[in-house]
Amino acid sequence: MIDFTFTEEQELFQKAAREFAETKIAPHVPEMEENDETWDPVIKELCEGEMMAITIPEEYGGLGLGYTVRMIALEEIARVSVATAMMMQVGGLGIDPIILFGTDEQKQKYLPGLASGEHFATVAVTEPTGGSDPKGCRTTYRKENGSYVLNGRKCFITNSHIADVQVVLAMDEDNPEAYSTFILEKGMEGFEPTHIEHKIGMRGCNTGEIEMKDCEVPAENLLGPEGKGMRVSMTAISECGRAGMIGCALGLQAACLEAAVKFANERILYGKPISKLQAQQFKIADIKIDLEAGRLLGYRASATHDKGERAGNEYAVAKYFTTEAAQRAAKIAADMHGGYGCMEEYAVTRYVRDSFVLGPSAGTSDIMKVIVSRWALS
Amino acid sequence: MLRIVVCVKAVPEPKAAEDIKIDPVTKSLARMEVPLVINPLDRNALEAALLIKEHDEAHITVISMGPPPAGDIVKECLALGADHGILLSDPAFAGADAFATAYTLAIAIKKIGQQDLVLCGRASSDGATEWVGPELAVFLDLPVVTMVREFAETENATWQVKADIEHGYRIVQVQLPAVFTVTQDLNVPRTLSFSGIIKSRKKEITTWSLEDLAIPANSVGLEGSPTIVSKLEYVESKRECQIIDGTLEEKVEQLISKLIEAGAI
């Protein structure tokens, strides 16, 4: 038999994450919406709330809880703030390559600080010329005096201005087929965050550009084998990254369902709540069906991942489905609100804006279809 | 080492209040049909114990009476930092009023052994009688201070506590062992943490039945409850909206009159 339920302990983690989200994150949301650059308070909360330690092994000061618990936490946090969940998700995405490919020295150096929240992480792959096609990246490295020298620019990087530790993908200056990943630290000479992006949604989630100008990176900061950087970054993105986006999408779907149900029960039309109207009931059913299906896909993938098996394909299916479903859910929820669904004091307007940022992150829906079709055809 | 017992009750999730049904036979709340949470004021009681433990050597036992699902809230208390959990669970305990609840809890606390401090929330969010704490003290033959909002240990196990009374507070000195019932002003309860949940893996929950307590069945549960609930009804709260017209001054005047009329001010 297949058991589709969380364990008692996972339910307790879910409860803890919900308490955390509602008491520590939710109070910051209005300010994040008002001022797009207010991210410090929630980053502090994420760190103090042990949220960045979830997947880090206990031997490095983490909780060693795996990807299902991480998805549970992200869903609960995204339910109140997708922007915060996004920073947490990409923070984890910066941690994962170090767990998977780091040397013992690198793990000892970086993971305890990332687990305790002293430091925050990110991963930087996307460039103006390459995201969906990572081989379009033009950031280069060359070996010089026993170190590596990086030059280039990365864009749309979540946590660009927050992260103390950034895992950066770069191409060999002399061999356009060879890519390597490096651990860059805040304050390294020639490395700095530059432009801050202002997105349609996820206000308060730090996104921006980073620039490397003759940035000298010590040889010991090479992450994974030289020339195998594509594998390092893509493994993390295809599993940890997509898992995180699924958590964000599920949380947004859940928020949309709650908002739709609440409004439908309160809004009186023709002398009765609109929840009594079948046209509105069907809309709620659509959101609910998508959420239920999304949870089955997402948590199936994370359970596979937690068993130590590859789950990139399963995550691609779930990432496509849940991020698309989140957009549908947000539109339905806003539609149900009628004119109120156009007013910013109603959270559904935020949900609509946030939902549009879910799709492109960690692989667009079209890229997910490429992966899924490759899986089906293989 | 200070031995502390915290009494906790599983109550319906306040957000699900509208879904709570009344059992027409026992005239008690059908708690099992809605999600259960730790009674909010019991979290203040547990937080008080945890704060004591942060500064002094202490052992915290959490005790709850309820059906097996109430074990979840005991587990939650362990995750919050309590050392040991006891669940009193037996069909014979069902339908207990405050008197029978206090009696059963007292028997169990005596079975644990000598305790220095028994902490309870002032009231439960569902029954809200405020009797369990004081009655527990009677059964344990201990002094009780109700509505405690602040306490500090002084000397020789004599504690000075500040407790609410109507329109004020009183300061009381009490010799431990004692029973305190606490208010929400005592502290801000901590939230669950992931590492707390991990630590609770090694903590035990002991379940005691009627047989374990070795007391007659007619002294507990509905049978042991002298309270007779003759009637229990749903209260429907209705909202009414009135539009007040006039100049700003007139509107304010009218609003104040209406609020006085309604007894709101």
**Least confident piece of the model among A99-103, A175-179, B127-131, B244-248:** B127-131
Q: Find the residue in B nearest to A55 (Cα).
A: B194
Does the beta carbon of B72 lie under 8 angstroms from any beta carbon of chain A?
yes
Evaluate whether residue B262 is within a structural domain: no
Residues of chain A numbered 52-81 and touching chain B (CB < 8 Å) = 53-54, 63, 65, 69, 73
If you average pLDDT over every residue of chain A, what do you get?
95
Contact A65 B75 (CB under 8 A): no
Half-sphere exposure of A4 (CA within 13 A, CB side): 7
Could you tell me if residue B12 is inside a domain? Answer: yes
- Assess A117–B contact: CB distance below 8 Å, yes or no: no
The structure's pTM equals: 0.90
- pLDDT at residue number A1: 59
Mutate one of B72, B197, B205 to test the A interface: name it (highest A CB count within 10 A): B197
Q: Which residue, of A227, A257, A272, is where some domain finishes? A: A227
B68 cis-preceded (ω within 30 degrees of 0): no
Q: Is A333 domain-assigned? A: yes
Return mean pLDDT, chain B. Answer: 91
Q: Among A12, A23, A53, whose Cβ lies nearest the Cβ of B79?
A: A12
- Examine residue B230 and state whether it is found in any structural domain, yes or no: no
Contacts of B193 in chain A (CB under 8 A): 16, 49-50
Interface contact B191-A63, CB threshold 8 A = no
Q: Which residues of B166-179 are buried (b: 16+ CB within 10 A; e: fewer)?
A: eeebeebebebbbb
Read off the tokens for B236. Answer: 């429907």
Of the candidate ranges A73-77, B125-129, B145-149, B167-171, the one whose mean pLDDT is the lowest: B125-129
Domain boundary among A56, A86, A120: A120
Share of chain B above pLDDT 90, in %: 73
Predicted pLDDT at B32: 67
pLDDT digits (tens, 9 = 90+) for A157-166: 999 999 999 9
Q: Which domain holds residue B192?
A: 2-219
Alpha-helix runs per DSSP H in chain A: 8-20, 29-34, 40-48, 66-80, 82-101, 104-116, 229-236, 242-266, 278-306, 312-336, 347-358, 365-377
CATH number of the domain encompassing residue A204: 2.40.110.10
Range of the domain at A274: 231-377
Same domain? For A235 and A106 the reply is no
Q: What is the CATH number of the domain that holds B19?
A: 3.40.50.620
Domain count for chain B, please give it. 1
Query: Is B234 touching A (CB cutoff 8 A)?
Result: no
Which of B191, B195, B197 is facing A12, going by the closest CB pair? B197
Q: Average of pLDDT values for A46-63?
A: 97
ipTM of the complex: 0.91
pLDDT band of residue B231 (cuts 50, 70, 90) is confident
A189 touches B: beta carbon within 8 Å: no
Residue B236 lies in a domain: no
Examine the pLDDT at A83 and tell me if it is beyond 80: yes
Confidence band of B31 (pLDDT split at 50, 70, 90): low
pLDDT reported for residue B73: 95
B227 is a domain residue: no
Q: Note the pLDDT of residue B242.
A: 85
Is the residue at A1 inside a domain?
A: no
Looking at residue A135, what is its pLDDT? 82
Report the CATH number at residue A72: 1.10.540.10
Residue A152 has pLDDT above 70, yes or no: yes
Nearest to A123 by CA among A39, A239, A11, A37: A239
Domain CATH for A328 = 1.20.140.10
Let me know whether A46 and A134 are in one domain: no
Residue B118: per-residue pLDDT: 97
Q: What is the pLDDT of residues B113-155, one digit of tens each?
A: 999 999 999 999 888 888 999 999 999 999 999 999 998 777 7
Looking at residue B16, its pLDDT comes to: 76
Task: Of A233, A251, A253, A245, give the one whose Cα is nearest residue A365.
Answer: A245
Number of domains, chain A: 3
Spatial contact of A74 and B218, defined as CB atoms under 8 Å apart: no
Residue of A nearest to B73 (CA): A12
**End-of-domain residue from the set A71, A97, A120:** A120
Chain B residues with beta carbon closer than 8 angstroms to that of A19: 191-192
